């Protein structure tokens, strides 16, 4: 059995050897120098070697017949078929393994590219070229450089690693690992990579992605960041069409406005660079940072348009605002960064200190230089409510047609009610905090100053009608002014509350009081 196995191996070996084609060669001079080149035939002048579809010419060569090995020296030219040519100073070629090693001013060309290197390996069995001491590849679009790399002739693919750069007139790409196809210009990135726009210095960073160097379309799926002139966009997935100036990002998106110090987050965004606009949805939130105290604005959709410092921010539907000293809610809000005015629409409400402020429309006005809250306007059906310091059922109230307020260090300190002003105030003893009287006032205009959210002084600018009641004699229709709605259940008291959808719950006690009042009049 052992002899049969050995004979089988000998048969296989002889079959393989019979399939190995021998090198054919010719030269002007052939000689032997066993002392200097043992086992070699020395070839001089117009040397030509052929082997299995490859043709090599050189000035000199050494041919080792027993090893089927050829060493070419001086002005070496290698041709494979009609497509691949290579020049170098030296080539070692092993015909048995079909492996070639070229060094010294190596230049290789095929129809799609030109490669230059100091040393190049050629694996003819797998039609693969590889190098580990830097090479430069040029095609019609790009110039690629790397320390290590493989080039697969059949599919025109480079796998380049270590200090990789791809440069063209428009872009500069740096990476540690990429696949590049010379016939299509497609690049697949597998390590930390940066693409820089040479014209405007916009940059893209990713750790995995795809980039088409001919169409300037890219798609990145790991640690993706797009650095535009005034914005930085981050996301789990990022698509960018440079020519159209369009980018879309998906999941865990952060858009940083580096001019206005404004951050937008969400799970899907579209950026139109040429139109200077941003559209973001799915847990969309805008964050404005002033003096390390952030204002968070959440809505179903955030749309930002306009140039830096003149941008318009529109937040639509189920809008909530959270700041440590100010909260708000409305259906939509329109912010003009140039004027510093934020307009809240459709059932708006804000909470400042212990005060709840409502109206048909609310304007929050910021100082454009300090970016701090400066003043407010409440237009039509303005109403401010604060809960009594002791009793949960008693509320200090002011209402009127319009209301104008002034903030100091982000606290509401001054309030002017203009037109049909009314107020209800629960007066307590300053020392005992015991409720003494309840005052209702009616005037055209009323001016208030506040300290720590509580009314400090009241000034009636025109003649007023006032009534003061002891607690036991307070009528039900005086306790709460018409239109009273306490909306504390809607207030976002923590930042994460802005993502909770709440609905206005009408105050049934107030509605019942209004109904009885109308009934008695009739």
Instruction: Note the pLDDT of residue 317.
Output: 93
What is the percentage of the chain residues whose pLDDT exceeds 70? Answer: 91
Domains in the chain (CATH in brackets) are 21-104 (no CATH), 340-492+504-522 (2.60.450.10)
- What's the mean pLDDT when you consider all of the chain? 86
291 pLDDT band (50/70/90 cuts)?
low
Question: Among 11-15, 75-79, 211-215, 226-230, which is the least confidently predicted range?
Answer: 11-15
pLDDT digit string, tens, across residues 478-515:
888 989 999 999 999 999 999 887 765 444 444 344 43
* CA neighbor of 478 nearest in space, from 465, 469, 488: 469
What's the pLDDT at 420? 87
pLDDT value at residue 15? 37
Residue 296 has pLDDT above 60, yes or no: yes
Give me the pLDDT at residue 219, please.
94
Q: What percent of the chain has pLDDT over 90?
A: 54
As a dihedral over the C-alpha atoms of residue 250, residue 254, residue 257, residue 263, rounded to 10 degrees, the angle is 130
How far, in Å, CA of 511 to CA of 41, rounded?
113
Distance in angstroms (rounded) separating the CA atoms of residues 392 and 390: 7
Of 193, 191, 157, the C-alpha closest to 172 is 193
Is it the case that residue 519 has pLDDT exceeding 60?
A: no
Alpha helices in 391-430 (DSSP H): none
Nearest to 472 by CA among 437, 442, 424, 448: 437
pLDDT at 2: 41
Each residue's pLDDT tens digit, 360-410: 999 999 888 877 889 999 999 999 998 887 877 889 889 999 999 998 887
Predicted confidence at residue 463, as pLDDT, reads 63
Provide CB contacts within 8 A for 116, sequence distance 6+: 105, 106, 107, 108, 135, 136
For residue 485, give both structure tokens: 């709605």
Please give the Cα distance from 130 to 153 (Å, whole number): 11
Tell me what the mean pLDDT of segment 270-297 comes to. 87
Q: Which residues contact 159 (CB under 8 A, 6 or more apart)?
A: 149, 150, 151, 152, 178, 179
Average pLDDT over residues 301-317: 90
Cα–Cα distances (Å) from 259 to 230, 289, 392, in that order, read: 6, 12, 46
Q: At 281, is the pLDDT very low, low, confident or very high (cuts 50, 70, 90)?
A: very high
Mean pLDDT of 53-66: 94
Pairing of strands 262-272, 135-138: unpaired
Whole-angstrom Cα distance, residue 119 to residue 130?
9
Q: How far is CA 451 from CA 296, 368, 458, 505, in A?
A: 25, 25, 12, 29
In tens, the pLDDT along 85-132 reads 999 999 999 999 999 999 999 999 988 899 999 999 999 999 999 999
What integer pLDDT is reported at residue 471 of this predicted model? 85
CA 190, 193, 199, 201 dihedral sign is: positive
Tell me, what's the pLDDT at 6? 37
Phi/psi at 234 (5° precision): -125, 145
Among residues 487, 468, 489, the alpha carbon closest in space to that of 423 is found at 468
Structure token pair of residue 320: 């909530």
pLDDT digits (tens, 9 = 90+) for 19-44: 568 899 999 999 999 989 999 999 99
414 within 8 A of 450, measured Cβ to Cβ: yes
Q: DSSP assignment, residue 39?
A: T
412 has a pLDDT exceeding 60 = yes
């Amino acid at each position: 059995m052992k002899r049969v196995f050995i004979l089988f191996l000998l048969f296989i070996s002889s079959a393989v050897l019979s399939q190995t084609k021998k090198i054919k060669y010719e030269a002007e001079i052939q000689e032997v120098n066993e002392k200097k080149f043992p086992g070699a035939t020395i070839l001089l002048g117009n040397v030509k070697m052929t082997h299995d579809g490859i043709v090599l010419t050189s000035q000199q060569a050494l041919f080792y017949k027993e090893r089927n090995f050829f060493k070419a020296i001086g002005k070496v030219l290698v041709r494979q078929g009609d497509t691949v040519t290579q020049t170098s100073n030296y080539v070692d070629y092993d015909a048995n393994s079909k492996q070639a090693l070229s060094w010294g001013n190596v230049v290789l060309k095929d129809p799609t590219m030109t490669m230059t290197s100091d040393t190049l390996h050629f694996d003819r069995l797998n039609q693969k070229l590889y190098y580990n001491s830097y090479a430069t590849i040029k095609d019609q679009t790009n110039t690629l450089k790397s320390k290590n790399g493989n080039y697969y002739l059949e599919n025109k693919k480079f796998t380049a690693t270590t200090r990789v750069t791809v440069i063209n007139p428009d872009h500069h790409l740096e990476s540690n690992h990429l696949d590049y196809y010379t016939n299509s210009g497609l690049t697949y990135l597998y390590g930390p990579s940066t693409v820089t726009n040479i014209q405007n210095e916009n940059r893209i960073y990713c750790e995995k992605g795809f980039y088409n160097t001919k169409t300037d379309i890219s798609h990145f799926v790991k640690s993706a960041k797009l650095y535009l002139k005034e914005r930085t966009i981050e996301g789990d997935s990022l698509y960018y069409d440079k020519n159209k100036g369009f980018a879309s990002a998906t999941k865990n998106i952060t858009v940083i406005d580096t001019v206005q110090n404004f951050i937008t987050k969400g799970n899907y965004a579209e950026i139109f660079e040429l139109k200077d606009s941003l559209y973001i949805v799915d847990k969309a939130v805008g964050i404005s940072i002033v003096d390390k105290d952030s204002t968070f604005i959440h809505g179903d959709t955030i749309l930002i348009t306009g140039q830096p410092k003149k941008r318009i921010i529109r937040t639509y539907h189920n809008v909530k605002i959270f700041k440590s000293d100010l909260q708000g809610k409305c259906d939509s809000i329109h912010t003009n960064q140039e004027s510093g005015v934020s307009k809240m629409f459709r059932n708006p409400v804000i909470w400042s200190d212990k005060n709840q402020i409502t109206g048909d429309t609310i304007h929050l006005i910021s100082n454009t230089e300090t970016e701090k809250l400066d003043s407010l306007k409440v237009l039509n059906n303005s109403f401010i409510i604060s809960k009594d310091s002791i009793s949960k059922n008693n509320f200090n109230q002011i209402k009127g047609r319009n209301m104008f307020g002034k903030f100091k260090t982000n606290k509401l300190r001054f309030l002017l009610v203009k037109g049909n002003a009314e107020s209800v105030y629960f007066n307590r003893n300053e020392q005992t905090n015991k409720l003494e009287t309840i005052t209702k006032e009616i005037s055209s205009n009323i001016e208030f100053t506040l300290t720590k959210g509580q009314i400090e002084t009241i000034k009636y600018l025109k003649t007023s009608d006032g009534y003061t009641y002891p607690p036991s004699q307070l009528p039900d229709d005086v306790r709460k002014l018409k239109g009273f709605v306490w909306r504390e259940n809607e207030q976002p008291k923590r930042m994460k509350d802005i993502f909770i959808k709440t609905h206005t719950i009408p105050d049934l006690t107030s509605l019942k009081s209004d109904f009885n009042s109308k009934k008695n009049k009739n």
